[in-house]
Amino acid sequence: MTDDYAALAPVYDRLGLSGFAEIVTPQIIAFAQAQDWAGRRVVDLGCGTGASVRWLTANKFSTVGIDLSSAMLTLAQKSIASSGVGLRWLQGDMRALDDLHDIDLVLSLDTLNELNSLRDLEMVFGAVFKALAPGKLFVFDLHTIEGLAQRTPLSYMLDTDDLTVLRAEEFDHERLANIAQYTVFERAGYLWRRWSATRTLRGFPIQVVNALLGRAGFGIMALMTEQMQQFDPTAMRAGRVVFFAQKPESV
């Protein structure tokens, strides 16, 4: 997957793939603060090209951006001036966060559906729990199984004078996964070059995710839709859910 992101990285923002993180990050912080969360130390897991980190550093949060893809991290670093603000970049696996402690908020947007299994998800929850200070928050989103199954099978994501991107998607019912194949045509002088990348998003049942969070020690503060409206999994349907999980004050 890191090789696929090396291919997608130069056009990631132009394709709008960082758009959700850019829009929802300030809304997440506003909601958390309305629930009496306070803090300045934030970790962005799967930071990508830095959409959330840009907002966090601009608003004086001390931030650590973590991603497995060196290509994505390089673009994020180039796009953000860190003058006067504590900002660190780490390349690594989100399932192992041993060097991080007493964090006020761990944020992970458009990332966790790329994990291979519920076991991987559980490992992330355990690592985040250890990294957080007591009483602090883990906020992440997940595309639901229904949301992944209903995505448009074929579309042009972008078609300009210098860049054309075709996305073809299929839903694998055996693996509960959406598999998107990106074909990119980019103008280079008088010539066009072509490359491709694959992105696989796996669906996880919401109630199972809640149970895994509880097993890791978290309490659920809130579940929200992607429009940041309260979500009830027993009575509502949604294409994407945002989880607000809290580490207890006393552990």
| Pairing assessment for the beta strands 41-45 and 219-225 based on DSSP bridges | unpaired
Q: Please report, to the nearest 10 degrees, the dihedral formed by the alpha carbons of residues 51, 52, 58, 59 taken in order.
A: 160
- Parse the chain into domains and list their residue ranges: 2-144+204-246, 147-202
Q: Tell me which fold the domain 2-144+204-246 belongs to.
A: Rossmann fold (3.40.50)
Share of the chain above pLDDT 90, in %: 73
Of 43-52, 86-95, 110-119, where does mean pLDDT reach its minimum? 86-95
Range among 6-15, 32-41, 187-196 with highest mean pLDDT value: 32-41
Cα–Cα distances in angstroms (integers) from residue 4 to residues 7, 20, 108, in the given order: 5, 20, 20
Res 228: pLDDT: 93
Res 8: pLDDT: 86
User: Region 230-242: what's the mean pLDDT?
Assistant: 92
Res 79: pLDDT: 84
Res 43: pLDDT: 97
pLDDT tens digit sequence for 50-60: 999 999 999 99
Q: Please report, to the nearest 10 degrees, the dihedral formed by the alpha carbons of residues 44, 48, 54, 55 taken in order.
A: -60
Q: Please, what sign has the CA dihedral across residues 43, 23, 50, 85?
A: negative
DSSP string, 190-210: TEEEEEEEEEEEE---HHHHH
**Residues in CB range of 3: below 8 A, 6 or more apart:** none
pLDDT tens digit sequence for 21-68: 999 999 999 999 999 999 999 999 999 999 999 999 999 999 999 999
* Mean pLDDT of all residues belonging to the chain: 92
CATH superfamily of the 147-202 domain: S-adenosyl-L-methionine-dependent methyltransferases (2.20.25.110)
- Confidence band, pLDDT 50/70/90 cuts, at residue 236: confident
Structure tokens that stand for 89 in this block:
């970049």
Give the predicted TM-score (pTM) of the model: 0.94
DSSP string, 84-142: TS-EEEEES-TT--TT--SEEEEEE-S-GGGSSSHHHHHHHHHHHHHHEEEEEEEEEEE
**Residues in CB range of 49: below 8 A, 6 or more apart:** 9, 12, 13, 18, 72, 75, 76, 79
Work out the angle at residue 9's Cα, subtended by the Cα atoms of residues 240 and 65, and round it to the nearest 5 degrees: 70
| DSSP SS3 for 163 | strand
Name the phi and psi angles at 108, rounded to 5.
Answer: -145, 105
Res 2: pLDDT: 56
User: Region 199-211: what's the mean pLDDT?
Assistant: 96
User: Region 198-217: what's the mean pLDDT?
Assistant: 96
Q: What whole-number distance in Å separates Cα of residue 138 and Cα of residue 198?
A: 28
